[in-house]
Amino acid sequence: MDISPHKVKAGRPKAGTEHERHALMLEQALELFMVEGVSQTSVARIANVCGVSTRTIYERFDNKYALLIAAIKHMVEKDVSAMVQIDNLSNQTLQQVLTDIGRFMLNRVLEPRMLSFFKIGVAEASHLPELARAMKAVGPERIHQMLSDIFSFYAAKNMLPTLDFKRAAESYCELLIASPRQKALFGVLGPDWDAEEHLTFVVNLFLHGLHGMEPANAVK
């Protein structure tokens, strides 16, 4: 995927409801942050790309960082909706759910623009720790909560022991994402790397460990 600056499209917001126009602005702003970096992106630049006035942006957000957090939250909530619908869980095994969610997550985090944004986020965190905390809250922690809710659903049906599900969710994400993302960031994720094999291994390893835990030993 080419993420050079000329790929960011500017223009007036499309016609639609206020909610749709706001969502479009968030998506365009996030794309700009991903392409050009947070520190290099001004409110004026965002306004120009989104086809709105700077006044419109400041009426909704205190600064560009508040806009960034809102844009990340919007993206993550869309992803969560795409990944799972709690009402459909009764028709699937936990293995199927974790495989489907894991595939979506793995594809997402290994997108070139997401890898670039991850590097930007790490750089920004060193001098803007409050921004890093906010990004973590609307990003990874939201995903962890989603997975925790899924584990609770299956536990309520006696298909899982009662555990620290938030911790389990964090562990699943680390097993799934940490190694391939690190290799991709350093350019050593070879062309022969098999995403499906990795996904299957992680899901099986995780479920084997999860089912093998005793509830009394798992709750802290």
- Give Cα separations from 215 to 71, 190, 212 (angstroms): 38, 40, 9
84-220 has which fold?
Answer: Tetracycline Repressor; domain 2 (1.10.357)
What's the CATH number for 1-83? Answer: 1.10.357.10
**Domain residue ranges in the chain:** 1-83, 84-220
160 by DSSP, 3-state: which?
A: coil
Name the nearest CA neighbour of 188 among 196, 197, 180, 199: 180
The percentage of the chain sitting over the pLDDT mark of 90, rounded to a whole number, equals 53
pLDDT tens string 189-199: 988 999 999 99
Contact 46, 32 (CB under 8 A): yes
* Tokens 């659903």 -> residue: 153
Q: Do 1-83 and 84-220 show the same overall fold?
A: yes
Which pTM was predicted?
0.78
**Per-residue tokens: 40:** 């290099």
pLDDT at 2: 34
Read off the pLDDT of residues 26-42 as tens digits, 9 standing for 90 and up: 999 999 998 888 888 99
- pLDDT tops 90 at residue 218: no
Supply the mean pLDDT for the chain: 85
CA-CA distance, 126 to 130, in Å (whole number)?
10
Residue 158 and residue 18: Cα distance in Å, rounded?
Answer: 44
